[in-house]
């Protein structure tokens, strides 16, 4: 079911997002290193904006849309923590200078917003048109939860990503950094820099995460406006979240178990929606999300950093 929002709501939301992105880009145009204090302030701003929009949506469209928004926002925000680990691994692997990481993440977020918008519309339409796709999505989420819970320590090798390999094969590539440029000129010929390859690796990894997260929030609602706004506000804060958490990830060594439970729960919820049980109430979904996140974070803090995933050492050229 699509929200009965007026025609101007979609372009208005798009304008708000573009303005927020423009302000962020303007304030970071000097490619400075983002410190913890600055990241914490920006993270607070993005979370505040997301919560404010949710409150507005609740008042405007009612409690059902508001609750669905916050449940979707929490799922996307929580799954984003796992994105942060992969981004940290990619940046470490390719030895990306700290001053250029924000630029890569900025354009990575722009691409992520586009991918998710397409996935939301496609997934919602599939669920509305073919009821049996709920079983496919549900089984996929349950399997993904299993993989995350029991095979989370498998090594991620960015240079073996098929998209990254394709870029290096079809585009002339300079295997070094040239400031913050994505493209450089060498011997009169344009070449993409190593920073562009990193951007492709970020986009490719986020594309995989988008499949999981969109399938999970489709278990909550097929209201495309609610899903898109929740996803957009959660993703907008991903850069600040990265700089806040990148150095603290070892403290959340058990968080992936919580993420696994949430993915499996979303899969079961999708499947049950097409059975006599019907859709589980959104308040129950929200309760499960909050309780699972709190329990996994608490477990992580009690257990300490032991068992967290190591980050592979690299040299400047991005090779072990």
SS (H, E, C) 98-155: HHHHHHHHHHHHHHHHHHHHHHHHHHHHHHHHCCCHHHHHHHHHHHHHHHHHHCCCCC
**Phi then psi for 49, rounded to 5 degrees?**
-65, -40
Percent of the chain at pLDDT above 90?
A: 10
pLDDT of residue 252: 66
pLDDT of residue 180: 85
Mean pLDDT of 51-77: 90
Mean pLDDT of 77-93: 75
Q: Is the pLDDT of residue 130 over 50?
A: yes
**What tens digit of pLDDT does each residue of 180-209 get?**
888 888 777 888 888 888 888 888 777 777
Q: How far is CA 258 from CA 31, 66, 86, 88, in A?
A: 35, 24, 17, 20
pLDDT of residue 48: 93
Q: Is the pLDDT of residue 170 over 60?
A: yes
Residue 29: how many CB atoms within 10 A of its CB? 10
83 vs 52, higher pLDDT:
52
pLDDT of residue 312: 41
pLDDT of residue 317: 41
Burial 260-289 (b: 16+ CB within 10 A, else e): bbbbbbbbbbbbbbbeeeeebebeebbebb
pLDDT of residue 80: 76
Q: How far is CA 234 from CA 25, 116, 205, 208, in A?
A: 17, 12, 17, 17
Residue 243: how many CB atoms within 10 A of its CB? 22
* DSSP conformational letter for 246: T
pLDDT of residue 60: 92
**What tens digit of pLDDT does each residue of 35-56 get?**
778 888 888 999 999 999 999 9
Q: Name the pTM for this structure.
A: 0.72
* DSSP conformational letter for 94: T
Tokens matching residue 105: 């993440």
């Amino acid at each position: 079911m699509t929200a009965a929002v007026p025609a101007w709501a979609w372009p208005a939301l798009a304008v708000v997002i573009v303005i927020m992105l423009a302000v962020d880009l303007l304030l970071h145009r000097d490619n400075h290193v983002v410190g913890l204090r600055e990241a914490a302030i920006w993270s607070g701003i993005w979370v505040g904006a997301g919560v404010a929009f949710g409150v507005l949506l609740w008042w405007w469209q009612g409690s059902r849309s508001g609750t669905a928004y916050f449940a979707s926002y929490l799922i996307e925000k929580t799954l984003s923590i796992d994105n942060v680990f992969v981004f940290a691994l990619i940046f470490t692997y390719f030895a990306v200078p700290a001053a250029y990481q924000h630029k890569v993440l900025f354009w990575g977020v722009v691409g992520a917003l586009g991918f998710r918008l397409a996935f939301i519309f496609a997934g919602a339409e599939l669920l509305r048109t073919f009821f049996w796709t709920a079983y496919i999505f549900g089984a996929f989420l349950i399997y993904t939860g299993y993989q995350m819970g029991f095979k989370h320590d498998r090594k991620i090798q960015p240079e073996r990503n098929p998209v990254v390999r394709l870029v290096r094969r079809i585009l002339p590539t300079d295997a070094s950094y040239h400031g913050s440029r994505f493209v450089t000129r060498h011997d009169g010929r344009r070449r993409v820099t190593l920073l562009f390859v990193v951007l492709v690796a970020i986009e490719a990894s986020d594309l995989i995460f988008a499949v999981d997260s969109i399938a999970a929030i489709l278990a909550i609602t097929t209201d495309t406006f609610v899903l898109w706004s929740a996803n957009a506000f959660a993703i907008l804060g991903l850069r600040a979240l990265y700089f806040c958490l990148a150095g603290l990830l070892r403290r959340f060594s058990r968080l992936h178990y919580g993420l696994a439970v949430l993915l499996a729960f979303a899969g079961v919820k999708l499947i049950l929606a097409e059975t006599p049980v019907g859709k589980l109430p959104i308040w129950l979904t929200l309760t499960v999300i909050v309780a699972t996140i709190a329990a996994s974070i608490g477990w992580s803090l009690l257990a300490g950093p032991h068992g967290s995933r190591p980050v592979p050492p690299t040299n400047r050229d991005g090779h072990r």
